[in-house]
Structure 1
């Protein structure tokens, strides 16, 4: 039977998971596989593994429990191995890499920040601050613009939006960077201009949260900040 892998830890981790259950229906019992300085928390994998709500919750509960007692390398949902021996071999072959990552993640959690700006407010700002955009918009509204004016305005606004959002994202990241050990940015989606994960040491956590609130307050009501965390540091494994 395939083996489902939840986390990798140092073998000194207390691994208090006796009262937890893993994925599957009925929920699988958890066990550990140890090789050298490392341990992996695993269970039997169900044959029809899917990202069902109960299984995602079970996966997350294992991570949270392990994090409460020490440093972990949290695996993404759905990671499988052929059997325990395969897991043991992976721990042996990657011992140096896993040990280094555990050292980097020691005492840290992940916070993921997404941010967006009200689109109408952004457009008003562009029309207020860009003479060219404002003049084009006024001539279009008055019916005196050239036929190509709407296309020119659309292109200009798109360029302004991109430039302003890139500058905003860089500014937010730079304000929070001093309080994070590492960061990982991903491509924002929808109306977001920022999607970044921060690896934050416990000693800096309060400062990081205070700085995030301060930046959101400074930018004002036209901006929406969505901070998710503390999370297992998936983005930094």
Structure 2
């Protein structure tokens, strides 16, 4: 029977409450079925049976993430892309777990007790432009009539905006990086079209309150910034995931494999990118190794009904991504 995949955990990972009527123990799809483990050696995949994965919208995305977050409370978990459906338990063992049963346990051990927090920082364009030129000779200068002069002016303003963003990012990272075990950018920075900051932090699960307080201080110190703060999440941006494990769907060849993905960060695609794309964020281009799928795998069709979890304001968005 087809099964929906959610994540990979240790073989002894406790499952959510399986008692009758416990909604937290049910997966997605139609009908919704209890979560269970498909084991292979030291690893297990968290799955649920389904007759039809159906369309994937906001409700399914939030449900998928809630399952991962509840699993994360009891140990490390590496998520599989939203809506991934395997033909049966045997395919999960043979094509997902068996190829990594010797290498993945060590990677799970390395992130035990750690969670990922994400910070995305933007500023309204008009505010950004006004603040960038404030105190310079451009603040009250009339726009030049000459085209070349206007182009030069635009370039100077773009440089000022970039310098302002770089300064803001540096101040924020100086506040947050000492509280994290590791950190890394999630998007390109440094250009006039780039965000002020898009960063991931690897933080001990028992240190979330300190990190929350630091983000509150940043919001207070930079009231003009929109700060989106999300987590705790599985530490996908800090694990080099094996390329043969399911991460991202691509065009299906009717005569061959149904999946091709890459975990090579140098190619612009990563497990973290694919996890993000499950919830509406852009994923990098694909290249590199292919997943040796059976041709029977499938993915639900994502329907963008709203901007799930992309909110700002006080606090951290714990359940929506």
- In the superposition, the TM-score normalised over structure 2's length comes to 0.63
Q: Which has the larger radius of gyration?
A: 1
Q: What residue in structure 2 maps to residue 231 of structure 1?
A: 233
| Structure 1 residue 222, shift from structure 2 partner | 1.7
Could you tell me which runs of 5 or more consecutive residues in structure 1 were left unpaired when the two chains were aligned. none
CA separation in 2, counterparts of 1:46 and 1:101?
33
Q: 2:68 aligns with which of 49, 63, 75?
A: 63
Alignment of 1:77-156 (within 5 A): 77-89=82-94, 90-131=96-137, 133-134=138-139, 138-140=141-143, 146-156=146-156
- More strand by percentage: 1
- Spell out, residue by residue over 1:83-110, the C-alpha distance to the aligned partner (whole angstroms, 9 max, x if none): 2122223323202332122112211222
For the Cα contact (< 8 Å) 2:27–2:33, is it kept in 1?
yes
Aligned residues: 230
Q: What residue in structure 1 maps to residue 211 of structure 2?
A: 208
- Spell out, residue by residue over 1:94-141, the C-alpha distance to the aligned partner (whole angstroms, 9 max, x if none): 02332122112211222211112233332223322333x34xx5143x
CA separation in 2, counterparts of 1:122 and 1:66?
41
- Spell out, residue by residue over 1:23-70, the C-alpha distance to the aligned partner (whole angstroms, 9 max, x if none): 112213322111111111112344454322332233223213212322
Q: What RMSD over aligned residues (CA atoms) do the two structures have, in Å?
A: 2.7
Residues 180-189 or 59-68, more deviating: 180-189
- More helix by percentage: 1
For the Cα contact (< 8 Å) 1:21–1:30, is it kept in 2?
yes
| Structure 1 residue 162, shift from structure 2 partner | 2.1
For the Cα contact (< 8 Å) 1:17–1:66, is it kept in 2?
no
Could you tell me which runs of 5 or more consecutive residues in structure 2 were left unpaired when the two chains were aligned. 240-321
- In the superposition, the TM-score normalised over structure 1's length comes to 0.82
